[in-house]
């Protein structure tokens, strides 16, 4: 059995099958890129994985256990952390307190939580911002805070939902470096991202989604040169090498 495995995931919203039979595997230690047009079901897949939405059909296995059907906090405790496409920090709290709120999941005492929060803030390169109020941060730092909050739950598998959207080229390089650093620390990652540079740079494997179904999967190069993916998503002008 794969480290992480989805089997025939289905999610209906009224008459719409937002996710319509999605199966894919992720190996331990790899970065799996999830790409596809807006509305193709990527965020919904994340919401199914972390139990935010109940599945209409299908099963999810992680690290030898069936996790579909578990409550969100149980799934987080099993070791799946995530960020949200729409960043939602606790705006009036400082960066450190935001991270502290997540660190309590893995801590028995406040001092243990503080230690974990400080360590995670440092690992994610946010120490100079730790006393700033989250609502005052520019977008790149808010996105980084999202990742930091997720990391404070000590995930084994991290789901990143468009954490590079809205970043300038320098910030993009910093985000790529952080994603690689997280993977190198032993965390398996599934990343939803529109910026192909990020997908092509960090992914070991890519799964392309269209209309709630898997359209293609393979190496980044294989998926980026797949005729169906070019037609549905990348466009004829996309060049994998460029």
Ligand X SMILES: Nc1ncnc2c1ncn2[C@@H]1O[C@H](COP(=O)(O)OP(=O)(O)O)[C@@H](O)[C@H]1O
Nearer to Mg ion, 44 or 107 (CB): 44
Does the footprint of ligand X cover residue 54 (CB under 6 A)?
no
* Burial group, residue 132, by CB count within 10 angstroms (0-12, 13-18, 19+): middle
**Which residues within the stretch 208-227 sit at the binding site for ligand X (CB under 6 A)?**
none
Residue 39 interacts with which of ligand X, Mg ion, none, CB < 5 to 8 Å by class: ligand X
Under the binding rule (CB under 6 A), the answer on residue 18 touching ligand X is yes
Q: How many residues bind ligand X (CB under 6 A)?
A: 11
Residue with tokens 């190069």: 221
3-state secondary structure of 118: helix
Give me the least distance between CB of 43 and Mg ion, in Å please: 3
* Cα Rg, the chain, nearest whole Å: 18
Among 31, 32, 35, 41, binds ligand X (CB under 6 A): 41
33 binds ligand X (CB under 6 A): no
The contact pattern for Mg ion, residues 199-218, with x = CB under 5 A and - = no contact, is --------------------
Give the number of other Cβ atoms within 10 Å of residue 128's Cβ.
10
Helices (H), the chain: 42-49, 72-78, 95-103, 110-123, 139-151, 169-184, 196-202, 220-224, 227-229
Tokens, residue 20: 């319509």
Question: Binding residue for ligand X (CB under 6 A) from 43, 98, 141, 188?
Answer: 43
Give the interface size with Mg ion as a residue count (CB under 5 A): 3
Q: By CB under 5 A, is residue 43 in contact with Mg ion?
A: yes
Question: Least CB distance from residue 42 to Mg ion, whole Å?
Answer: 5
Name which position in 29, 39, 69, 135 contacts ligand X (CB under 6 A). Answer: 39
Q: What is the per-residue DSSP string for 56-111? A: SEEEEEETTEE-TTS-HHHHHHHTEEE--SS----TTSBHHHHHHHHHGGG-SSHH
- Could you tell which of ligand X, Mg ion, none binds residue 203, using a CB distance below 5 to 8 A set by kind? none
Burial of 204: CB neighbours in 10 Å, binned 0-12, 13-18, 19+: middle
Does the protein bind ligand X through residue 89 (CB under 6 A)? no
Contact 226, 214 (CB under 8 A): no
Q: For residue 163, state whether it binds Mg ion (rule: CB under 5 A).
A: no
Residues from 71 through 90 that contact Mg ion (CB under 5 A): 85
H or E element that contains 191 = strand 188-192
Nearer to ligand X, 42 or 226 (CB): 42
Residues that bind ligand X (CB under 6 A): 13, 16, 18, 36, 38-44
């Amino acid at each position: 059995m794969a480290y992480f495995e989805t089997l025939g995931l289905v999610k209906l919203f009224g008459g719409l099958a937002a996710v319509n039979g999605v199966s894919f595997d992720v190996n331990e230690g790899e970065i799996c890129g999830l790409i596809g047009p807006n509305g193709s079901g990527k965020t919904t897949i994340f919401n199914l994985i972390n139990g935010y939405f109940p599945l209409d059909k299908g099963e999810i296995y992680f690290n030898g256990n069936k996790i579909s059907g578990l409550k969100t906090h149980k799934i987080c405790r099993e070791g799946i952390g995530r960020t949200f496409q729409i960043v939602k920090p606790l705006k009036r709290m400082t960066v450190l307190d935001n991270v502290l709120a997540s660190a309590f999941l893995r801590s028995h005492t406040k001092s243990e939580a503080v230690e974990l929060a400080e360590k995670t803030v440092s690992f994610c390169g946010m120490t100079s911002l730790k006393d700033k109020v989250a609502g005052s941060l520019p977008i790149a730092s808010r996105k980084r805070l999202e990742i930091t909050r997720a990391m404070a739950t000590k995930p084994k598998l991290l789901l990143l939902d468009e954490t590079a959207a809205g970043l300038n080229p320098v910030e993009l390089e910093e985000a790529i470096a952080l994603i690689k650093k997280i993977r190198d620390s032993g965390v398996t990652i599934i990343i939803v991202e529109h910026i192909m540079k990020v997908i092509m740079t960090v992914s070991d494997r890519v799964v392309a989604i269209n209309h709630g179904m898997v359209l293609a999967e393979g190496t980044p190069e294989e998926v980026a040169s797949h005729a169906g993916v070019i037609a549905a998503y990348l466009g004829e002008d996309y060049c994998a090498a460029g």
